[in-house]
Amino acid sequence: MWHASQRSAPWRRWYQPGVPQELTIPDVPVTRLLDDAADSHPRRPALIFFDRRIRYRRLRSAVDRFADGLRRLGVQPGDRVALILPNCPQQVIAFYGVLRRGAVAVQHNPLYTEEEMLHQLADCGARVAVVLDRSYATVSAVRSRVRLEHVIVTSLADFLPVRRRLALRLPSARARRRRAAFVVEVPDDPGVVRFGEMQRAPRRPVRQLELEPSRHLAAIQYTGGTEGRPKGAMLTHRNLVANASQQHAWDREGRPGADVTLAVLPLFHSFGLMSCLVSPMMTAGAVVLLPRFDADRVLRAIRRHRPTIFPGVPTLFEELLDDPRLAPSDLRSLRILVSGASDLGRGTIDRLGRLGVKGLINGYGLTEASPGVTANPLGGGARNLTVGLPLPMTDVVIVDEDTPKRVLPPGEPGELVVRGPQVFAGYWNAPLATAQSLSKGWLRTGDIAVMDEDGFITILERRRDIIKVSGFSVFPTEVERVLRRHPAVHDCAVVGVPDVRRGERVIAHVVEHPAYPFSADELRRHCERYLSHYKVPAEFRPRTELPRNVLGKVVRRRLRDEVVNSPA
């Protein structure tokens, strides 16, 4: 086992003044963050959604009502509740309401296909799902094959400002088009519950059910691990509170009740979960919720609400920088711009600097670490071509890939291994995968990295084969399983190659069946039937055979190199 010591950690001397080396993690449930904010700043806006402001006092009341609604549906502590929602107030209310009830929030991408949704709902065993009306058809199609007893349905229109809701009811053609963009009719199927019914006033006060933060799960976040189908990373209340505390300690200029976070990152993603849902509550921050990235809407939100914190991925920032409407003054309100999930290039760093962004920090995390592991210093000393330094209370070593017990010296690349209070409890229903990734508190990330003598870390290769498209993970084996269903595919291998706009793009190398000629358009339509759009290969390359090693495994690196080195 590894024996790195925080006392001799080289990165500590590069911490900014005031950043503590040790932290006392509050031994409280995640909901305490919301309760403390509502007690100290009851009239402070907690959420801003299409200009509607929901104050902390009202948000806590909505959370309590939702928790009581779950009680009426029979939800017990430890039960899993699926959240299939984009960024909207209902997602925040449901997340904290589930935790108030002592249940476990399991978040899913509302754009998942039936097959993707079926796997995750069946795996987590959710009894109740909270679903956006646009995703109801997908959930309804798989419901007979999973344990769902109740489906709580909501619409983006439910929390629009009053004037916008009234405008949707007008008989004009324009109002009908807008209504179609916000509302999808859902049949009154058995077990369907409207979100409004979950907001009935409780007959008795709603209290947080007692739990042990270090043992009780708060969330299950699906991730790919290192191979195969997505697995559910089990995050305890302590994991999430610890990571929020670490990030709060890193930001010494933050003031309670003063920050505004722009939530473009999806809250169902671990990056968005922490930076836009959990962490802001620790300082009674306001969160501007955008259901999806749209450059026009993002620019309007920036100009109207003047955010001070903007978490995102490099591709998001690059799209915004490319927009001709962006003015230098638009980003002057930002104290911190947080980049993660994929490499931040020198060009993007320079462009943001020219626009006056001073608080740019590039960091690194993974779902299994809640997700924050490292960050560049705030207030000076950032080296944003690296992912920065380990956060307080986080220990990091680089080990030899082939001999993991051997810790490597500075400058030598190897596997990044992490220990800290934010490291997850294991994978749901996957003891073998847990044992392979987690040992005595140490997490083997599978990422290849190098640490310099000062403790700054550079990620050389992320999880080997996992492809990052606009910050989202694409698992090659999942795409390959879908491809192999098509009669034209005799064999295949999927890899990711660098892409300026999206970080990486998906390339499928296909060995065609001799009796069924291979058609790229046909394979693309086949993939679109079973996979989310970002997982569908951008290119299908025909081959007569795949390169394999002596054990018969496909050598993906060779396939990647062939694409990268081929003539444009």
Measure the CA–CA gap between 513 and 422, rounded to whole angstroms. Answer: 48
- Nearest partner of 362 among 370, 49, 353, 354, judged by Cα: 353
Q: Which residue has the tokens 């189908």?
A: 229
In words, the CATH class of domain 17-203+213-436 is: alpha beta
Q: In terms of pLDDT, which residue wins out, 383 or 7?
A: 383
- Nearest partner of 388 among 365, 408, 411, judged by Cα: 365
What is the domain partition of the chain in residue ranges?
A: 17-203+213-436, 467-565
CATH superfamily, domain 467-565, is ANL, C-terminal domain (3.30.300.30)
Write out 285-344 in H/E/C secondary structure.
CEEEECCCCCHHHHHHHHHHHCCCEEEECHHHHHHHHHCCCCCHHHHCCCCEEEECCCCC
Model confidence over 60-101: pLDDT tens digits? 999 999 999 999 999 999 999 999 999 999 999 999 999 999
Q: Which residue has the tokens 């358009």?
A: 521
Is there a contact between 417 and 396 (Cβ–Cβ < 8 Å)? yes
The per-residue pLDDT for 5 is: 47
Model confidence over 131-160: pLDDT tens digits? 999 999 999 999 999 999 999 999 999 998
Q: How do strand 104-107 and strand 150-154 relate by DSSP bridges?
A: unpaired
Is there a contact between 48 and 56 (Cβ–Cβ < 8 Å)? no
The per-residue pLDDT for 57 is: 98
Q: How do strand 467-469 and strand 457-461 relate by DSSP bridges?
A: unpaired
**What DSSP line would sit under 403-445, residue for residue?**
STTSBPPTT--EEEEEESTTS---BTT-HHHHHHHEETTEEEE
Q: How do strand 489-499 and strand 503-512 relate by DSSP bridges?
A: antiparallel
For the chain, give the mean pLDDT: 92
Q: In terms of pLDDT, which residue wins out, 230 or 529?
A: 529
The per-residue pLDDT for 228 is: 56
365: its two tokens: 């995390």
Is there a contact between 331 and 356 (Cβ–Cβ < 8 Å)? yes
Q: Tell me whether residue 404 is exposed, middle or buried, using C-beta atoms within 10 angstroms of its C-beta: 0 to 12, 13 to 18, 19 or more.
A: middle
Q: How confident is the model at residue 463 (pLDDT cuts 50, 70, 90)?
A: low
141: its two tokens: 């199609």
319: its two tokens: 């799209």
Is there a contact between 75 and 101 (Cβ–Cβ < 8 Å)? yes
Is there a contact between 507 and 497 (Cβ–Cβ < 8 Å)? yes
24: its two tokens: 């006392």
Least confident of 29-38, 162-171, 196-205, 238-247: 162-171
Least confident of 45-54, 180-189, 397-406: 180-189
Q: Tell me whether residue 59 is exposed, middle or buried, using C-beta atoms within 10 angstroms of its C-beta: 0 to 12, 13 to 18, 19 or more.
A: buried
Q: How confident is the model at residue 509 (pLDDT cuts 50, 70, 90)?
A: very high
Q: In terms of pLDDT, which residue wins out, 543 or 345?
A: 543
Model confidence over 196-208: pLDDT tens digits? 999 999 988 899 9
